[in-house]
């Protein structure tokens, strides 16, 4: 069993190339919907604490059903007691989108809404990859929340969303300024964020784009800090401390391994890219699974050279993880 290199924060050049393509897709989506009202899914759903088993976060599935099953077998997942919460994007690009949608029938499986799952997005993505049973699951998809708030006996609560929280809800003003983005990357805003989610959290229509498509935090990190390996490594170490105060798991934006950047833990390690001729691969790709209790991350690789191999992190994503005994 191989291990992830804990000094490699992100694949800088690979990520930037993917971001450029994703940026163009986002702009086309915005133009397509500029006269439409995006349907409102539930803003937030609170799940009770799992007192008998473990919770696992899985990154964007994108049809990678077999990889999920391999990971669940690897961690000895128990469907009677354990739960999986996905960061959205269940469909498109991978081999088994239909099977991934069928996971919504399982009592142990939960998912937030991703931009690929969104009803309005199908106008764009169906030309790329039509999912045959999509509209059979429309009612369930319309009930996927933008945010899961999951109560926890040790952490109080942790949160799962797809892309990026609209931090204007925290600052009460636009957060997309260099100063506020830097603050979100460097400073601990856990108290204000816990208060925000504890109240009657509501996603206004203007915030939906951030939750489904946002990547301002990661792009700021990649453009301003990642080129300097010493600074970026120090930031990631510092963000581990933020991870002890608040845990917001997200997907959408590619990282070479799960990593804590600013207020969010990025989990999308590009599972679908091993099957999708996106660009020349300069880094292994795979599906990530994170044990919430321990903070340990696992990746089932999907690139041709390493497909099916499972690697595990050298250390937890945060410092206050623990092993749940019993259950």
Write down the pLDDT at residue 220.
84
Residue 163 phi/psi, 5-degree rounding, is: -115, -75
pTM of the model: 0.85
Domain ranges of the chain: 2-34+42-313
- Taking only the tens place, the pLDDT of each residue in 32-68 is 444 344 557 889 999 999 999 999 999 999 999 999 9
- Cα–Cα dist 298/313, whole Å: 6
Which of 189-193, 246-250, 297-301, 316-320 is predicted least confidently?
316-320
Residue 79 phi/psi, 5-degree rounding, is: -65, -15
- Predicted confidence (pLDDT) at residue 19 exceeds the cutoff of 60: no
- Written as six digits, the tokens of 256 are 């070479």
Of the options 3.40.109.10, 3.40.50.10490, 3.60.21.10, 3.40.50.300, the CATH number for the domain spanning 2-34+42-313: 3.60.21.10
- Taking only the tens place, the pLDDT of each residue in 155-178 is 889 999 999 999 998 888 888 888
CB burial of residue 41 (10 Å; 0-12, 13-18, 19+): buried
290 contacts: CB under 8 Å, gap ≥ 6: 56, 57, 58, 249, 258, 265, 267, 296, 297, 298, 317
- Predicted confidence (pLDDT) at residue 28 exceeds the cutoff of 50: no
Taken as a whole, the chain contains a residue count of 327
Residue 237 or 27, more confident = 237
């Amino acid at each position: 069993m191989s291990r992830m290199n804990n000094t490699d924060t992100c694949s800088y050049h690979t990520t930037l190339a993917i971001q450029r393509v994703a940026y163009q897709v986002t702009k086309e989506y915005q133009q397509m919907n500029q006269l439409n009202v995006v349907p409102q899914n539930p803003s937030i759903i609170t799940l009770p604490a799992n007192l008998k088993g473990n919770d696992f976060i899985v990154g964007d599935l994108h049809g990678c059903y077999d990889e999920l099953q391999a990971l669940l077998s690897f961690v000895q997942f128990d469907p009677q007691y354990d739960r999986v919460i996905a960061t959205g994007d269940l469909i498109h690009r991978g081999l088994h989108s239909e099977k991934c949608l069928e996971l919504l029938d399982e009592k142990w499986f939960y998912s937030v809404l991703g931009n690929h799952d969104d009803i309005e997005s199908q106008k764009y993505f169906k030309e790329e990859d039509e999912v045959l049973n999509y509209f059979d699951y429309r009612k369930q998809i319309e009930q996927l929340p933008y945010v899961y708030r999951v109560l926890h006996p040790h952490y109080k609560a942790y949160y799962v969303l797809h892309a990026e929280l609209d931090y204007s809800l925290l600052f009460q003003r636009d957060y997309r300024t260099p100063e506020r983005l830097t603050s979100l990357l460097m400073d601990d805003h856990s108290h204000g964020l816990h208060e925000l989610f504890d109240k009657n959290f509501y996603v206004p229509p203007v915030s939906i784009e951030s939750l489904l498509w946002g990547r301002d935090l990661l792009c700021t990190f990649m453009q301003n800090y990642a080129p300097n390996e010493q600074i970026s490594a120090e930031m990631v170490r510092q963000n581990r401390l933020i991870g002890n105060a608040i845990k917001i798991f997200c997907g959408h934006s590619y990282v070479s391994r799960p990593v804590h950047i600013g207020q969010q833990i990025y989990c999308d390690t590009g599972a679908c890219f091993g099957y999708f001729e996106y660009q020349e691969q300069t880094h292994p790709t795979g599906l990530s699974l994170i044990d919430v209790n321990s903070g340990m991350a696992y990746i089932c690789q999907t690139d041709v050279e390493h497909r099916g191999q499972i690697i595990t992190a050298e250390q937890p994503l945060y410092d206050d993880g623990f092993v749940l005994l019993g259950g």
